[in-house]
Structure 1
């Protein structure tokens, strides 16, 4: 097995995300999951867009309408929904348990890549996926069965697993598109798509609640 630039980026990403989980956990004590996600996306947008301008100028990648739609939907699934669920899980079961469940990310990406990108799944990868899943169940159950209510534990783990799965879905959706030119712009516009979708949901949520409360039983 070779260890190249891609592996370095993957390892660095894991280290950065582990650090971010601790910071998100602390921030989640005072902010709701949605507010925390909006703040994160706002800050990231203000940092990432200038980076795209610096690295790639004003030349946007040449994508058709279908590809831009995929980028936007990927952002909504992988950023708006996934990160919100992840922050909810942090609040329910803590950073340690949520980080353990995050180990499902690689197996999810592998399986989705096999199903939708025609990549090959080796038997050892399937075996590793099974071991990761069993390990997550055993470790989280043993660590919390005496000090966390079982319904809260499983609800938090389900939110964390769902968040990781949605994140994997979002990444696999744009995998082929990211292989072209304009990497930083595609990532930036994906983020903007997720931010816009979450903002629209937050703005319209009071109206949704109002409509729901106004429905009368027959």
Structure 2
């Protein structure tokens, strides 16, 4: 029997990102995407330090090689600073559900770049599973634009572009992580990414003179509570599991499974916002599960 550690880690990553996307959309609208980014990384830095101290006896990843620091550091800058800055701005402008749909472009981008950069091939069955999964996500998220049944983009172009920027940042961040991590501890690797992400944002905040927005954010007590939940399930648990996923399976397969996040958001919408699920959403969710199952079983 094959070992599906990577695929299982990717599935739990998608669950974590469903929680964190909902949390960060709410918090970002209250305190702004820029302040949100650096605060959640500081929180993740603390959580990861405590966790690795308990599990590894090291509060900082001082046992990593220079090459590991360089590649994971680049991954942190590209993924956290560039990618997430774009993505969280998209959350604020067009919402988490549409943003996460656009993030579904990550798997094919990852697969193509993995082929050229890492030399990793994908089987026909994996490509079929990816296609089915992405189709299911599209069915859940896309809606009719008018009475003629046309699909219409009714969201700001800037928001759409920010979301695509987030997708590209996440793709490059995953590949750089895969290249630099090897068999290094995934949580310690995430710690390195978080540290370089904080340094990158510190430069952005200093240049833009935006440190005051961080101080103001702490006055929003409810937003900070929700942000904390997002930080736990996002850059702490979720990102670490995503590194476990790409460490044990093809990045294209891992990112496809992670891309079911828009479907997994539906139960949270029902529980929190009391939304009613439509037949289209149910069929899309079923199709997405079939696609993920196809990747697992074939």
Could you say if the C-alpha distance between residues 62 and 91 of structure 1 is closer, same or farther in structure 2, counting changes exceeding 3 Å?
Answer: closer
Q: Is the 8 A contact 2:72 2:181 kept in 1?
A: no
Cα 1:151/1:157, change in 2 over 3 Å: same
The answer to whether 1:88 aligns with 2:86 is no
Mapped pair 1:15 → 2:15: yes
Aligned to 1:195: 198
Note the residue ranges of structure 1 that are not aligned, 5 or more in a row.
Answer: 208-218
Kindly indicate whether the alpha-carbon contact (under 8 Å) linking 2:101 and 2:138 is maintained by their aligned counterparts in 1.
Answer: no
Change (3 A) 1:120 1:60: same
CA distance in 2, matches of 1:118, 1:165: 19
TM-score (normalizing by structure 1): 0.79
Distance 1:49 1:34, change over 3 A: same
Within-5 A mapping of 1:157-196:
157-196=160-199
C-alpha RMSD of the superposition: 2.9
The 1:162–1:139 alpha-carbon spacing in structure 2 relative to 1, beyond 3 Å, is farther
* Long gaps (5+) in structure 2: 211-298
Question: Could you report, residue by residue, the CA deviation over 1:136-170 in whole angstroms, capped at 9, with x for unpaired residues?
Answer: 88876645679xx9685332122112102111101
Q: In 1, Cα distance between the equivalents of 2:116 and 2:138?
A: 25
Q: Structure 1 residues 138 and 16, CA, compared in 2 at 3 Å: closer, same or farther?
A: closer
Classify the secondary structure of the residue corresponding to 1:29.
helix
Q: Which residue of structure 2 lines up, in the alignment, with residue 31 of structure 1?
A: 31
- Higher alpha-carbon deviation: 14-23 or 102-111: 102-111
2:65 is aligned to 63
Q: For residue 88 of structure 1, report the CA deviation from its aligned partner.
A: 0.8
Runs of 4+ deviating beyond 4 Å: 123-141, 143-146, 149-152
Cα contact 2:86–2:162 (8 A) shared by 1: yes
Distance 1:153 1:127, change over 3 A: farther
Change (3 A) 1:144 1:79: farther
Counterparts of 1:131-150 in structure 2, within 5 Å, are: 142=143
SS of the aligned residue for 1:88 comes to helix
2:51 aligned partner: 51
8 Å Cα contact 1:98/1:157 also seen in 2 = yes
1:109-128 matches, cutoff 5 A: 109-123=110-124
2:23 and 2:145 map into 1 onto residues whose CA distance is 22
TM-score by length of structure 2 reads 0.59
* Distance in 2 between residues matched to 1:83 and 1:29, nearest whole Å: 15
The structural deviation recorded for 1:186 is 2.0
Name which of structure 1's ranges 118-127 and 185-194 shifts more when overlaid on structure 2.
118-127
User: How much does 1:40 deviate?
Assistant: 0.9
Give the total of aligned pairs. Answer: 204
Alpha carbons of structure 1 residues 144 and 54: separation in structure 2 relative to 1, 3 Å: farther
SS at match of 2:29: coil
